[in-house]
Structure 1
């Protein structure tokens, strides 16, 4: 959801320890069936609904937004300042719904709960870059455990919107551009959250792919292309994670608002996917009563941010006059209760008081995820890892003396250790609910700890000439370059802000041994790339980011992250070179109104279309289809060792089974991510399988992977099913989407139609 208001003072809350670490193999999950737990949950929910009064039913279908509702007539008195609150029905054992944003940790964006901290994971892109579902599961389990003891039982997490544009302000929260990778990782994060007997959402359903004009835009795409891309990511996430709730998006999809879009909410989600939980709106995303209810919306969230409380008195009146059938209201309540019961909210009540946290253990989880997700983009002359015998090292820029950058918006975590840098915004769509915030994890301190015998200094980088002078007198220079991204507004350019390109160029000219560490929310342009020997993509690395970066630079940890998103060589390589709507939204006021939930209350500009011309060829598929060579391809990532593949064998039939040997050919232990891409002769490659594997020096592992059938198929809209065309397919086993280090074979598939 989105938090757009001023801070509200609340009580300090603390939390519990997380479950034990899990093995990656334990995270595999078959597509959901109508399991006994789900059937029992539905039956229990239906029985409860029969026992409810009409007033109690209506009570469950909307939630308060505490920062706006507290103290107002009729509002609950036990609200914790957070995202949402739905009062309990004690006589039936139905608990309070307490909701928190939680994409990267239990959020407390502008310190609405004074003194309340939580563990901050690295950005979603960093978790995706691990290519390991175990990290996603463990992060979700950690967040869920903290939330539960803080007495939150519904988390607004599970973001799985695909990256269609490199400048999207929320890319950092999400899980990249590939439906198989994003859906798998989101599903495991959801499953981890819900292991704590609380609900996770999956969001934002669907095509919330840019922040510019997000309250107005109409995302347009063909039904088949949507099924093969964004919806496939959601489908995989729902199958693996079985989230208790789905959150619909702000934007329109093919002409209808996502939160009153019958095709999305009823035809696909309910009928085709047999989803049993409930659909909640995004905060400020409701536009009607009757249309939304009939289309499939079950709960209005944070009703204070909509034009009116559509699911309060207006819904009661609509049910009374028959425009919304009583059976539909009962169904709405049944779905809410089903999601709650299936995830244990009724059988495992929240603690009455806040519980303690093992923050040290949780910090280790955050650091491990950051280390596994940091991507070594370039390493000429084997400059990295840095020798611990280096005598003089200078760190330049990025507030590397005190901390690491985090992304802004509803995912912002007030992390353990505080915020050494926090800069309020004075303008822009995010100004009311976001601050430029750093976590207190100093790369400078961490590097000094790893190299105690070296002279390590810091220069702020504001003056390129002074920075170059400092670099010239050092044995090597490390430039920390930052790009802050936030919900509600997109980057208007992919260039690094604040003259940082000139800074890097000056430092590289002064010292041939220059490394650039990027703390960014996604891809940036690198006009200096040929002038530096080392580039490390650290994303927003979370509350232990400084330690993680230092361990990668010095080789205490062998880098193993792989890009979950393509880095373009120039902005015009992407399907759209800038956010659609920048020209339509002519003034700053227009952009604020069109990005925030109050956009419809004033004279906001009219809706505008965003045509997704790339269809299902998202990200690396677009580059392959257009024969474009990016700066760094999807899946790219270097290591301090090397890996080789041999004995590739492909078996066809109903799907493709791929077996091969992977060998660590170097002198260091490390993790590789073999990636299997499949394509017809005239089509773009699609990631059909992957697996992260850790190997000792010289070790060989035999791997067998099965291709996801829906990746091999196309959606037949007329036949309303998946269709695999029979014939020969090119199978490439490689280290990235461009085929680096790869080997190719052919596989033959039998034509078949299946599923929905």
Structure 2
């Protein structure tokens, strides 16, 4: 019958009509993804179903098999079922752009977006959507249909090597931005993941770290970030993590996968493993639906062992069908069956412009003694020091590493061994801050010093009117920072430069917070993060005022590592393969929340960021009821146009002092312009999680909010009465 249907399809009847006549009702696009998946799943043989539940990395390993047939070189591949027209799943890492690991696709480059922490610093959900959309289009142009994107783990420890891939320390900020990025990907008919579920809080011992946290605290922090991202973005898949959570591996965690994700939240998509995170076949019973990157596991648990378990009845037929049906459901929901364009045309210049917008709005002006913006250049002598700023801008390393359009400007080997050694190198995207500064300040004399010797750097600074020091903290997957100093003697070099010339500007290219023992000696500090393929131009534009900085810190910069709950990084120095506990005693008080609870003074607070103009807030209105609705005015009181990111915090609930971000916005104002901002709080941000009742509970009473430019500074304060209520988990 399929042959006959194919033959008839070329005649007067439509393909869908013929397919329906042939009994293939799953081809009917008017049916829901759930119903179509149910009908198609019923057609699968046992072997075909098993084939959808596991797959390899689409990479060639020395001495290993070649790339799978019909695959696209990249992170992963699930072969599909040609007999039924089920397309293969072709997967790529895509947190910051389309990756090309090990040059598996020779010469292929892609738009390199700034690090996710820079996106978070923009406080701009629209940019998150735009970035997700261009990544999805570039994926489709290469034949990929699954993006391993949507990193939403909270930055609980500033030393975490993957914090640059995530979206800061607050669940509302992280969940909102991740949700927008995921939505954009899914809107392009590409499946997105959200990852890494859950509490993947450090890279040290990531395969053996047992994250310990109370249920209520987990629900109010990391799980809430995931829940918000899933609700807003509707990702087709959730990727579980390497670590254990409260004693069970994330990918075999019945409570997390069956209880919370699929039970309480009603998630309809599928759970894929992280690459090398499966340890047993019974993970299928505990909520895992698909084994990814199977070469990295000790065996293909979801291949023949799962088939035999199904034949023996230890994995019920209904569960096996649920696994494949969830995958098919997400494929239907994303439009993978319905004739979408396979390879859209790409506008590289337009995509690069999006990368620049993210960098423009993500760069944070941390400190400024009136030195910035740099005005004019006639007769000025400027020296740019260090950071390989002559070549390009630094990027973070690991599976998210993008080979930017134009190729790598410079590669500096770091060394190391093990499976992540191929990423043990500092890669600089081809956007030179030195060249960009020369372009925007053509009348200045701009020289470069590499900064290797502090005394030489100081001499160069002394001979200049202005010194701009680029300081790098290279962060990477599978490798945490040992502490928060700038490595390789850069702190000493900055101190020497500042002593020689007080008109010194420090540009930080980091994956998160660093300490600044030289802060009071320099004229300005800029957090540029990893700024992507147009980062050099964005840095130059911010330094010269062509772009008014509007980034705000998505993570607290501490005054000392002692301000964090774990002074010594758990697992450091332990023998390989030894499990250890990471006790999250701070619970839901991540980052600024803990600083507020303990009354600690950070170096720079969450939400902090300066501008070349000034803003004022007034006309606060706070309305209660089932939740809080907060309205206020923002006015640009300065002389130049600028963007502000006003933040609304819950600071009191029924007489209990606390601090939670419950809303934010990004507004673009001309000098003297005023705009009214109205924000309605997600009720869960006003609630506590009741473990015994398995529900959210709002105590009710008088709730206090503040509006201000940072978590530490309140410009407006108001209260409203909130009704007592409970909500589903």
TM-score, with normalisation over the residues of structure 2? 0.94
Query: What per-residue deviation string (whole Å, max 9, x for no partner) do you get for residues 234-287 of structure 1?
Result: 000000000000000000000110001011111111111111010000000001
Give the match for residue 47 of structure 1: 39
Alpha-carbon distance change, 452 to 659 in structure 1, aligned in 2, over 3 angstroms: same
* Gapped regions of structure 2 (runs ≥ 5): 1-27
What are the residue-to-residue correspondences of 1:168-183 with 2, within 5 Å? 168-183=160-175
Shift of 1:43: 0.5
> Is contact 2:392-2:428 (8 Å) kept?
yes
SS class of match (1:551) = helix
What are the residue-to-residue correspondences of 1:107-186 with 2, within 5 Å? 107-186=99-178
Query: What per-residue deviation string (whole Å, max 9, x for no partner) do you get for residues 35-59 of structure 1?
Result: x999710110110111111111011
> Is contact 1:125-1:564 (8 Å) kept?
yes
1:315 matched to 2:306: yes
Give the match for residue 14 of structure 2: none
1:209 matched to 2:201: yes
What are the residue-to-residue correspondences of 1:682-697 with 2, within 5 Å? 682-697=656-671
SS class of match (1:145) = helix
Larger CA deviation: 549-558 vs 674-683:
674-683
Q: CA RMSD in A?
A: 1.7
1:635 matched to 2:607: yes
What are the residue-to-residue correspondences of 1:477-556 with 2, within 5 Å? 477-556=467-546
Query: What per-residue deviation string (whole Å, max 9, x for no partner) do you get for residues 212-246 of structure 1?
Result: 00000110000000000000000000000000000
Shift of 1:729: 1.8
| 2:215 aligned residue (220, 223, 236) | 223
* Gapped regions of structure 1 (runs ≥ 5): 1-35, 591-603
Give the match for residue 695 of structure 2: 721
| 2:676 aligned residue (702, 707, 714) | 702
1:366 matched to 2:358: no
Once residues 42 and 189 of structure 1 are traced to their aligned partners in structure 2, the CA distance between those partners, rounded to angstroms, is: 24
Alpha-carbon distance change, 204 to 38 in structure 1, aligned in 2, over 3 angstroms: farther
> Is contact 1:385-1:553 (8 Å) kept?
yes
Give the match for residue 334 of structure 1: 325
> Is contact 2:60-2:66 (8 Å) kept?
no
Query: What per-residue deviation string (whole Å, max 9, x for no partner) do you get for residues 610-644 of structure 1?
Result: 00000000010011111110000000000000000
| 1:608 aligned residue (580, 588, 594) | 580
Once residues 344 and 721 of structure 2 are traced to their aligned partners in structure 1, the CA distance between those partners, rounded to angstroms, is: 56
| 1:650 aligned residue (622, 629, 645) | 622
SS class of match (2:159) = coil
Query: What per-residue deviation string (whole Å, max 9, x for no partner) do you get for residues 680-702 of structure 1?
Result: 24332100011111111001111
Give the match for residue 408 of structure 1: 397
Shift of 1:121: 0.2
Give the match for residue 297 of structure 2: 306
1:394 matched to 2:383: yes
> Is contact 1:665-1:698 (8 Å) kept?
yes
> Is contact 1:184-1:237 (8 Å) kept?
yes
Give the match for residue 547 of structure 2: 557
> Is contact 2:365-2:527 (8 Å) kept?
yes
Once residues 443 and 370 of structure 1 are traced to their aligned partners in structure 2, the CA distance between those partners, rounded to angstroms, is: 13
| 1:753 aligned residue (700, 713, 726) | 726
Larger CA deviation: 76-85 vs 336-345:
76-85
> Is contact 1:109-1:411 (8 Å) kept?
no
Query: What per-residue deviation string (whole Å, max 9, x for no partner) do you get for residues 692-744 of structure 1?
Result: 1111100111111111211110001111111111111221101000025x221
Query: What per-residue deviation string (whole Å, max 9, x for no partner) do you get for residues 174-213 of structure 1?
Result: 0000000000000001111112111000000000010000
> Is contact 2:415-2:424 (8 Å) kept?
no
Shift of 1:355: 5.9
> Is contact 2:390-2:433 (8 Å) kept?
yes
Alpha-carbon distance change, 72 to 516 in structure 1, aligned in 2, over 3 angstroms: closer
Larger CA deviation: 355-364 vs 572-581:
355-364
Shift of 1:388: 3.8
1:191 matched to 2:183: yes
Alpha-carbon distance change, 627 to 645 in structure 1, aligned in 2, over 3 angstroms: same
> Is contact 2:620-2:716 (8 Å) kept?
yes
Count matched residues: 699
Larger CA deviation: 61-70 vs 615-624:
61-70
Once residues 357 and 379 of structure 2 are traced to their aligned partners in structure 1, the CA distance between those partners, rounded to angstroms, is: 26
What are the residue-to-residue correspondences of 1:573-592 with 2, within 5 Å? 573-585=563-575, 590=576
Alpha-carbon distance change, 571 to 72 in structure 1, aligned in 2, over 3 angstroms: closer
Shift of 1:434: 3.7
SS class of match (1:683) = strand
1:376 matched to 2:348: no
What are the residue-to-residue correspondences of 1:327-476 with 2, within 5 Å? 327-348=318-339, 351=342, 356-389=345-378, 391-427=380-416, 430-476=420-466
SS class of match (1:685) = strand
Shift of 1:110: 3.2
Alpha-carbon distance change, 428 to 494 in structure 1, aligned in 2, over 3 angstroms: farther
> Is contact 1:493-1:578 (8 Å) kept?
no
> Is contact 1:197-1:348 (8 Å) kept?
no
Larger CA deviation: 321-330 vs 430-439:
430-439
Once residues 634 and 457 of structure 1 are traced to their aligned partners in structure 2, the CA distance between those partners, rounded to angstroms, is: 35
Once residues 102 and 279 of structure 2 are traced to their aligned partners in structure 1, the CA distance between those partners, rounded to angstroms, is: 28
SS class of match (1:219) = strand
> Is contact 2:368-2:524 (8 Å) kept?
yes
Once residues 30 and 273 of structure 2 are traced to their aligned partners in structure 1, the CA distance between those partners, rounded to angstroms, is: 23
Alpha-carbon distance change, 167 to 38 in structure 1, aligned in 2, over 3 angstroms: farther
SS class of match (1:456) = strand
Deviating above 4 A after TM superposition, structure 1's stretches of 4 or more consecutive aligned residues are 36-39, 68-75
1:59 matched to 2:51: yes
Query: What per-residue deviation string (whole Å, max 9, x for no partner) do you get for residues 312-339 of structure 1?
Result: 0000000011110011100000000011
Alpha-carbon distance change, 85 to 69 in structure 1, aligned in 2, over 3 angstroms: farther
The higher radius of gyration belongs to 2
> Is contact 1:376-1:638 (8 Å) kept?
yes
Once residues 66 and 548 of structure 2 are traced to their aligned partners in structure 1, the CA distance between those partners, rounded to angstroms, is: 57
Alpha-carbon distance change, 719 to 518 in structure 1, aligned in 2, over 3 angstroms: same
Once residues 63 and 339 of structure 2 are traced to their aligned partners in structure 1, the CA distance between those partners, rounded to angstroms, is: 29
Query: What per-residue deviation string (whole Å, max 9, x for no partner) do you get for residues 127-169 of structure 1?
Result: 0111110000000000000000100000100000000000000
SS class of match (1:409) = coil
Alpha-carbon distance change, 152 to 459 in structure 1, aligned in 2, over 3 angstroms: same
Shift of 1:68: 4.8
Larger CA deviation: 192-201 vs 676-685:
676-685
Shift of 1:417: 1.3
Alpha-carbon distance change, 322 to 491 in structure 1, aligned in 2, over 3 angstroms: same
Give the match for residue 7 of structure 1: none
Larger CA deviation: 427-436 vs 489-498:
427-436
SS class of match (1:210) = coil
1:743 matched to 2:716: yes
